[in-house]
Amino acid sequence: MVDDNELNRLRDIAAPAPGTDAKARAFEAALRAYEAATRAYDMGEKTSPAAQGSTNGLRLTERAQKLWSEIMQKKLFATPAIAGLIALPIAGYAAIYMLQEQSFHSGGDEKITETLADKPAAERPATGRPLSVAEADKQKKADADSESRVAAEALVAPASPPRSESAAVGGLANQDALTRNAPQPAPSGEFAQDGGASARRGTTAESKLMMQRPAMPADQMLPQEQNRDRVEGFKTNPVRAALEDPVSTFSIDVDTASYSFVRRSLKEGIVPQADTVRVEEMINYFPYDWKGPDSASTPFNSTVSVMPTPWNEHTRLMHVAIKGFDVKPAEQPKANLVFLIDVSGSMNEQDKLPLLQSAFRLLVSRLKPDDTVSIVTYAGDAGTVLEPTRVSEKDKILNAIDTLTPGGSTAGEAGIKEAYRLAQKSFVNDGINRVMLATDGDFNVGQTDDDDLKRLIEKERKSGVFLSVFGFGRGNLNDQMMQTIAQNGNGTAAYIDTLAEAEKVLVEDASSTLFTIAKDVKIQVEFNPNKVSEYRLVGYETRALNREDFNNDRVDAGEIGSGHSVTAIYEITPKGSGGEQIDPLRYGQASVNNGGVANADEYAFVKIRYKLPNEDASKLITTPVTSANEVSSFDQASTDQRFSVAVAAFGQKLRDEDATAKFGYDKIMEIATAARGADPFGYRSEFLSLVRLASALGGNR
C-alpha cells in the first residue's frame, strides 16, 4: 500500500508544465493508444459490456477515479512530472474505453438513453421508405465515422479541472450545463501556466462530445437525396407598345399542375421557385361561374370586361372569361380509357404509386358500366396488365390496379406506343378515346429527349386519341416533359399531391378532364393604339404563338373540356393615363391621329379560333371590346372576376414580378377574402391559407 502522507504530498505538489517536445510525445502516444484501442474494438477484443441499466456498472467519474487509483497504487510513475506527461494518453484511453462500455445517462434519474449507434440495425427509426442495401451500408459507415470523431475529440482533449460530485451524478449532459453556468475553480498546476486555456479547451471538447453523442433522426444521418425536378424556365411577358406590336396570340391553357405544385411547396415551408409558378394555371385552377353557351352547337362563350387595376392606378385590366358548354351526365359519350402507369423504381414513394392507385380507383368509380378501361405499365419494358375491359367488371379493373408494384428503369416511349395501340384497338367512334399517363416524369429508357417525345406524341395524336398527364411526387418530377407531351398531344396536365386533389381532378372535374368539347383553341387580341398605349399579358408565357399561327389549322393549341372555365387577363395602359413605361415613337402619331382609323372607340378586338373534337377545320368567334365592357370601379366587378384577379396578383407576387412589387400579401388577402363567395369545396379558403403561408415565409416581399 502507498503511504497516505506520500499521496497527500503528491496531491499538493503542482506539476511543472511540460515542454513542447514532451507535449508532442504525449500526443503521439495518445494517438497510438487510440489506434490500438480501435483495432482491438474492431477485432472484437473487448470486454462484454454490462447490460444497459445494470447497477454493477460504475459511473463515469468512478471509472476514472478507479483507473487513476490503480495506476498510483502500482507506483508506475517515479515523479509527478512523468505523471503529467502520461496523463493525456491515459485520459484518452479511458474516454474511448467508457464510450465502448457504457451508455450515457440522461439527467439524474439514472434513465438510460439509447443512441442510433447503440441500437441494433433493425430498431432504427423508420425513414419513410425502405433502405436499399447500398444505403444501409452507407448508414453503417456514417455511424462508425461519427463514433470515431467523437472518440478522437475526447482523446486529444486535456482533462478538465475537478468538478463537484453532483455534476458527475447528473450525467454528462448535466455536467456540461453546470460547467457553463457555475463559476469555475481557479486553474492550478499546468493549467495555471497557460492562463487556463487548456481547461477551456477541455470544456469545449466535452461540449462538442455532448452535441455529437445524442441520438439523431435517421434521415439526418443519411445522405440527402438530390432534387432532380425538371421545370422549364421562362421569362415573364414584357410590356409591349400597342403602336409597335398591337397583336397578342397564345394557345388556351386549362392545365392546373402549377397551382398544386405551388401549394405543396408552401405547405412544406418552401417558397416555390419562380419557374414553377405559371400564373395562368393558378388562375384556371378554380371553377368560375362565367356565362356559358346555350347549346352544344356553340362549344363556349366569351365574356370580356375592363376594370381598374388594384395594384396600379394608371392601368386597367382587360379580363377575358371563357366558359365551355356543360355536357349533362346523360349525354356524355361512351369513354374508352387507357391507364398508362409508371411503375419504375422512382415511383416507390408513398406520394407516388400508392397515391396513384387510390386516385385511379376514384376515377373507375366515376365511370359508366359500358365504358372501357385498359391498363398498360412501363418500367424496364412496357406491358399490358389489363386488356380493354368494361367497367361493369369493376372488381377485375380494381384488382389490376391494386396489384401494381414498382421496380426497374423507365421505358416511357414503349409504354406510350403500347397505350395508343390499345386505345386504337377499342376505339369508340363519336366517343371519348383518351390515354391517361400517370408518372413522376422520369423517362430514362428509349426516347428520353423532350423533342423526340414531342414528335412521338404529335404522330400519335393524329389517331384521334387524346392525352391526359398526371404528375406525382417530388424530387424526381419531370414537369418540363409532362408539359411538352400534354401541349402537343391534344392533352392537359395536372399535378396530384393529395387524395383530395385526385378527387377534384378525376371525380369533381371528371367532365372537363375527360370530355373535350373543343380542341386547338387559340386567342388573338389586337389592341387599338388610339385607345391603348401599352399592354401586358399576365401569364401564358409557355403558350405563346406566332401571329401567323392563329390562322394556321396545322398548329396545335389547347383543349377545352365540358363545363371548363378559362380566364386570361391583360394589364393595359389607356392612352394619356400617364402610366406608360415605353417612350412614344417620334414619327408614329400621324398613323393613329389622322382621323382615318376604323373602330377608333374600341379598346381591342378579341378573336377565338377553335375546332370541334372530330373536325380539322377551325371556326372563329370575335368580340369587340368597347366602353360598354367597362366596369367603373374594381369593387363593382363580379365576385369571380375579383377573386381571379387576386389569384393573378398572388402568382405574380410569387414570381417577384415588377408589377406587384409594391402590392403586399395583405392587399391580396383583402381582395380574395371579400371575393370568396360560394366555396362548397373549400378551394378558395385554402387559397387564403396559402397567401398567409407565403406572407409568413417572406416570399418575394
> Which of 186, 221, 256 is the endpoint of a domain?
221
Residues, the chain:
701
d(CA 371, CA 330): 13
In a domain, 613, yes or no: yes
Whole-angstrom distance, CA of residue 268 vs CA of residue 345: 24
Closest CA to 418 of 460, 453, 468, 452: 460
pLDDT of residue 667: 97
Q: Report pLDDT digits (tens) over 60-78.
A: 445 555 555 555 454 444 4
CATH of the domain at 382: 3.40.50.410
Q: Span 467-480, mean pLDDT?
A: 83
Strands (E), 124-280: 240-241, 247-251
Cell of 93: 484511453
In three state form, how does the secondary structure of 409-478 look?
A: CCCHHHHHHHHHHHHHHCCCCCCEEEEEEEECCCCCCCCCCHHHHHHHHHHHHCCCCEEEEEEECCCCCE
Is 690 within 8 Å of 266 (Cβ atoms)? yes
User: What per-residue confidence (pLDDT) applies to 109?
Assistant: 42
SS3 503: helix
pLDDT at 123: 39
Q: Which of 48-52, 227-231, 595-599, 647-651 has the lowest mean pLDDT?
A: 48-52
Residue 147 has pLDDT above 70, yes or no: no
Domain co-membership, 349 together with 251: no
Q: Which residues, listed in sequence order, are joined to residue 620 by a DSSP beta bridge?
A: 609
Instruction: Identify the bridge partners of residue 187 per DSSP, sorted by sequence position.
Output: none
**Domain's final residue, options 190, 221, 252:** 221
Model pLDDT, residue 589: 58
Same domain, 145 and 217: yes
Same domain membership, residue 103 and residue 162: yes
- pLDDT tens digit string along 588-628? 654 555 555 677 789 999 999 999 988 889 999 999 999 99
Q: Tell me, yes or no, whether 511 lies in a domain.
A: no
Confidence band, pLDDT 50/70/90 cuts, at residue 104: very low
Cα 580 from Cα 575, distance rounded (Å): 8
Q: What are phi and psi of 302, to 5 degrees?
A: -115, 140
H helices, E strands: number in the chain: 22, 18
Of 231, 311, 327, the C-alpha closest to 277 is: 231
Grid coordinates representing 660 are 406587384
Q: For residue 527, what pLDDT is reported?
A: 96
- Cβ–Cβ contacts within 10 Å for residue 598, how many? 6
| C-alpha cell recorded at residue 228 | 432532380
Q: Are residues 186 and 157 in the same domain?
A: yes
In a domain, 226, yes or no: no
**The last residue of a domain, from among 221, 249, 264:** 221
Q: How far is residue 105 CA from its own chain's centroid?
A: 39
Strands 240-241 and 532-538: antiparallel
Residue 644's Cα: distance from chain center in Å? 25
Q: Give the DSSP letter string of 585-652.
A: PTT-GGGTSSS--TTTT-SEEEEEEEE-TT-SS-EEEEEEE-GGGB-SSGGGS-HHHHHHHHHHHHHH
C-alpha pair distances (Å), 482 with each of 227, 259, 282, 451: 17, 15, 17, 12
Residues 53 and 194 in one domain: yes
Same-domain status, 482 and 358: yes
Whether residue 541 is found in the same domain as residue 684: yes
| Number of C-beta neighbours around residue 282 at 10 A | 26
Q: Which is higher by pLDDT, 675 or 474?
A: 675
Q: How far apart are CA 493 and CA 331, in angstroms?
A: 25
- Give residue 379's identity as a one-letter amino acid code: A
Asked whether residue 339 falls in the same domain as residue 315, the answer is no
Q: What are phi and psi of 123, to 5 degrees?
A: -100, 5
Q: How far is CA 436 from the centre of its chain?
A: 23
- 510: in domain: no
Residue 504 within a domain: no
> Does residue 507 contact residue 499 with C-beta atoms inside 8 Å?
no
Examine residue 499 and state whether it is found in any structural domain, yes or no.
no
Is the predicted pLDDT of residue 430 greater than 90, yes or no?
Answer: no
Of 114-123, 132-141, 610-619, 650-659, least confident by mean pLDDT is 114-123
Run of H or E residues at 377: strand 372-378
Cα–Cα distance between 29 and 31 in angstroms, integer? Answer: 5
**CATH number of domain containing 305:** 2.60.40.1230
**Amino acid letter, 70:** E
Which three cell numbers mark 246?
Answer: 398591337
Q: Report how far residue 115's alpha carbon sits from residue 664's, in angstroms, rounded to the nearest whole number.
A: 47
Question: What nine digits make up the cell of 510?
Answer: 371528371
Alpha carbon distance, N-terminus to C-terminus of the chain: 77
DSSP helix/strand/coil, 437: strand
Q: Which residues of 509-546 are buried (b: 16+ CB within 10 A; e: fewer)?
A: bbbbbbbbbbbbbbbbbbbbbbbbbbbbbbbbbbbebe
Q: Are residues 436 and 478 in the same domain?
A: yes
Residue type, 321: A
Task: Tell me if residue 183 falls in helix, strand or coil.
Answer: coil
- The pLDDT, as a whole number, for residue 481 is 78
By the 8 A CB rule, do 203 and 158 touch?
no
Mention every residue, 6+ apart, whose C-beta is less than 8 A from residue 409.
344, 345, 379, 380, 444, 445
Of the segments 110-124, 127-141, 325-339, which one has the largest average pLDDT value? 325-339
3 state DSSP class of 522? strand
Domain shared by 292 and 390, yes or no: no
272-279: average pLDDT = 94
Q: Which residue has the higher pLDDT, 153 or 345?
A: 345
Q: Same domain for 375 and 453? A: yes
Q: What is the DSSP string of 655-697?
A: TT-GGGTT--HHHHHHHHHHT----TTSHHHHHHHHHHHHHHH
CB 408 within 8 A of CB 380: yes
Tell me: pLDDT of 128 over 60.
no
Q: Are 389 and 398 in contact (CB under 8 A)?
A: no
498 belongs to a structural domain: no
- The band of 671, judged by pLDDT with boundaries at 50, 70 and 90, is very high
Least confident piece of the model among 134-143, 231-240, 401-410, 514-523? 134-143
Q: Burial of 388 by CB count in 10 Å (0-12 exposed, 13-18 middle, 19+ buried)?
A: middle
Instruction: Find cell 401494381 and name the residue.
Output: 404
The pTM of the full predicted model, rounded to 2 decimals, is 0.66
For 116, the 3-state DSSP assignment is coil
The answer to whether residue 496 is domain-embedded is no
What is the Cα–Cα distance from 63 to 55, expressed in whole angstroms? 14
* Contact between residue 523 and residue 249 where contact means Cβ atoms under 8 Å apart: yes
Q: Within this chain, do residues 317 and 352 fall inside the same structural domain, yes or no? A: no
How many domains does the chain fold into? Answer: 3
Nearest CA to 417 among 482, 514, 493, 489?
489
* Domain around 208: 4-221
Nearest-angstrom CA–CA distance, 389 and 280: 37
Of 44-58, 258-272, 569-583, give the lowest mean pLDDT range.
44-58
- Per-residue pLDDT tens digits for 635-653: 999 999 999 999 999 999 9
Cross-strand pairs, 493: 469
SS3 569: strand
Among residues 471, 498, 496, 500, the alpha carbon closest in space to that of 483 is found at 471
Radius of gyration of the chain (CA): 36
* pLDDT band for position 24 (cuts 50, 70, 90): confident
Q: Interior CA angle at 691 toward 687 and 695, to 5°?
A: 165
For 65, what's the count of Cα atoms within 13 Å in the CB-facing half-sphere?
Answer: 9
pLDDT of residue 21 exceeding 60, the answer is: yes
361, pLDDT greater than 60 = yes
pLDDT tens track for 259-273: 999 999 999 999 999
Position 449 scores a pLDDT of: 61
Considering all CA atoms of the chain, what is the largest pairwise distance in Å, rounded to the nearest integer? 123
